[in-house]
Structure 1
Amino acid sequence: MALSKKQLSQDEVIVRHMHTHPKVLLWRIMAQVVLIAVGIAASVLLPGDWSPWSHLAVWIIVLAVSVPVFLLPWLAWATTTYTITSKRVITRSGILNKRGHDLPLSRISDVQQDRALTDRIFGAGTLRLETSAGDPLILEDVPSVAAVQVELSNLLFNDVQGAIDVDPEH
């Protein structure tokens, strides 16, 4: 869900709005596929005279296991957003309890990028935004991290149009 225009100042422009990279869900998706395959195999292999209660029990178990294995992590991913505007960096997260952080661009003194091997494969990475107060804002699993770092650098040098033009997809 994009940031509401009501939360922006009059001359503030959204440069990029994003979720964390979907790679964080990859193992969860594979586990869910295996779980469904196990449910299908159990439904097929259980004796026919146990039906329909055995099938119902199997799929209730599959559903119960799916909640912590896939559904809750997916909801956490879907509700975690990073928004870069012409004036600040905004983070929002949380399913029931919402957390947010707004960092004015004027407080950022350094932008660092970290990319592990898996991050490089997926084109993601971690941005560390150092502040003058020494309290960094760390954005993990940022998609297209190199382009985001360039956008932030352009914004820090007051080049809003240059930041918008960095990645034509956004």
Structure 2
Amino acid sequence: MAFPDEVLADDEQVVVHLHPHWKTMVRPGLVLLLVAGALGFAAFALPNEGWAHILLMVLAAFGLIALLVWFLVPFLRWRTTHYVFTTHRVLLRDGILSRHGRDVPLSRINDVSFSHNVLERILGCGTLVVESAGENGQVILKEIPSVEQVQSTLYQLVEDDHDRRATADDGS
């Protein structure tokens, strides 16, 4: 899913566009398999007549509600969470029905660091911490894929933005 260009300035380009790491969908995926397996077993094991048929319909209804709550909502939340790094700023967008956003100009970023535990290192993800001079301060981005590479890219974007601004100031 591409990020909409209308939120970008004329000379701004998207460098990195990410969603949270796929590991955020492991638990909902297991719920999907468990519910589908249980419903499949119930459909096979219960006779399709009388009270058993009614019980099967009730189980199917509860299964669909469980899938909606424990799979579909996390899936939509995962797909509608955007971490976008451009040549001018870091854009954060999330939300399914109501949207939330935060922009951090590269010129306001003081420090970029990351952390990941052993499992996250194996899976290639982690937490990115962006220190901003803005009034909201620190931005913590969790479940970032290839977090070390993203941290390095963001650091380079901050340096390039600083150089661009210095050149523009010298030219005035």
Normalising by structure 2, report the TM-score.
0.86
Native 8 Å contact 2:113 2:130 kept in 1: yes
Q: Tell me: CA distance 1:52–1:105, structure 2 relative to 1, closer, same or farther (3 Å).
A: same
* Structure 1 segment 5-154 matched on structure 2, within 5 A: 5-50=5-50, 52-133=53-134, 135-154=137-156
Q: How many corresponding residue pairs?
A: 159
Unaligned runs of 5+ in 2: 162-172
Q: Distance in 2 between matches of 1:141 and 1:131?
A: 20
What is the identity percentage for the equivalent residue pairs of Structure 1 and Structure 2? 35
Q: Distance in 2 between matches of 1:146 and 1:99?
A: 26
Q: Distance in 1 between matches of 2:48 and 2:61?
A: 18
What does the per-residue CA deviation read over 1:71-98, in whole Å, with 9 as the maximum and x for residues that have no partner?
Answer: 1111111110100000000000001110
Q: Tell me what 1:157 maps to.
A: 159
Larger CA deviation: 49-58 vs 110-119:
49-58
Q: Which runs of 4+ in 1 moved over 6 A?
A: none
Q: Distance in 2 between matches of 1:73 and 1:114?
A: 24
CA positional deviation for 1:58: 2.5
CA positional deviation for 1:52: 4.6
Native 8 Å contact 1:43 1:54 kept in 2: no
CA positional deviation for 1:156: 1.2
CA positional deviation for 1:48: 3.5
Between Structure 1 and Structure 2, whose CA radius of gyration is higher? 2
Larger CA deviation: 26-35 vs 102-111:
26-35
